[in-house]
Amino acid sequence: SDTLGPFRGRLVAYAGALPFYRQAPEEDRPDFLTNPWYEGAEYGYVYVPASRSPANLHSYRLAVLQLPGDRGATNAPLVYLSGGPGVSAFNGAFLKATLTDVQPVIAINQRGAYLSQPDLFAISVDESTTQLQVRLGGPDGIDFHTINTRDNAADVLDVVSALGYGSFSLWGTSYGTMLAQEVIRQSPDRVDAAVLDGVVTMDQPQWTTIGQTFLDALNALFDDVERHPDA
């Protein structure tokens, strides 16, 4: 299916080889692309397998933003991976636009993030995670086992291939650093270089430790201020 309308949980069957790329029509371009930072940017979708299982019959459509390299840019592209998980990579893409003098920049919105399938957003602030899973799940709905770092990393490799590139560099922030590490693990020969900005280690149970880590950081700051009367 090439339906570009809202995606509300029901998967679509695909025919043919995955992955593949299609540029979005002009009316589908997000409003923020009118910002001068994004001048010349191409917006489109890469279709990837919903699951890498041999029995998979569905695809997800991932939103992809390409900032072309300048005339003298000869390096392989830089792929920007955002944090969260769930934060749009487009939010920080303009910060990487300054690098287009040496390489193209590709921002990938991971599965389930802004403008990418599946739609994992609650319909209201009152909808709980359990209610969302019930609403989007079921035999014709989303398989939540497909929302994971392993498949996210395989998506990155598929997106870069669908755009016609072999090797590439990575810039990951926060959760994007964990994702970048998994991309390297899956295909180290394709990654020329990687920037891990705010590292989350692969063995860290992120959501069970983030609160305590934040508290420890604040207490360390307060202790340091207390030792300096002029602070």
Question: Token digits for 174?
Answer: 């926060």
The two structure tokens encoding residue 67? 């900032």
Strand partners, 65: 43, 107
Q: Is residue 187 a contact partner of residue 194, using CB atoms and an 8 Å limit?
A: no
pLDDT range class, residue 11, cuts 50, 70, 90: very low
Pairing of strands 42-49, 59-67: antiparallel
Say what angle helices 175-186 and 149-162 make with each other, to 10 degrees.
Answer: 70
Torsion of CA 18, 168, 64, 136, to 10 degrees: 60
The most confident of the ranges 29-33, 139-143, 163-167 is 163-167
Rounded CA-CA distance 86/112 in Å is 7
Q: Are strands 105-108 and 191-197 parallel, antiparallel or unpaired?
A: unpaired
- Per-residue pLDDT tens over the stretch 161-195: 999 999 999 999 989 999 999 999 999 999 999 99
Phi first, then psi, for residue 91 (nearest 5°) are -60, -40
pLDDT tens-place string over residues 90-117: 887 777 777 888 889 999 999 999 899 9
Burial zone of 151 (CB within 10 Å; 0-12 exposed, 13-18 middle, 19+ buried): buried
Distance (Å, whole) CA 179 – CA 123: 27
The answer, yes or no, to whether residue 141 has pLDDT greater than 80, is: no
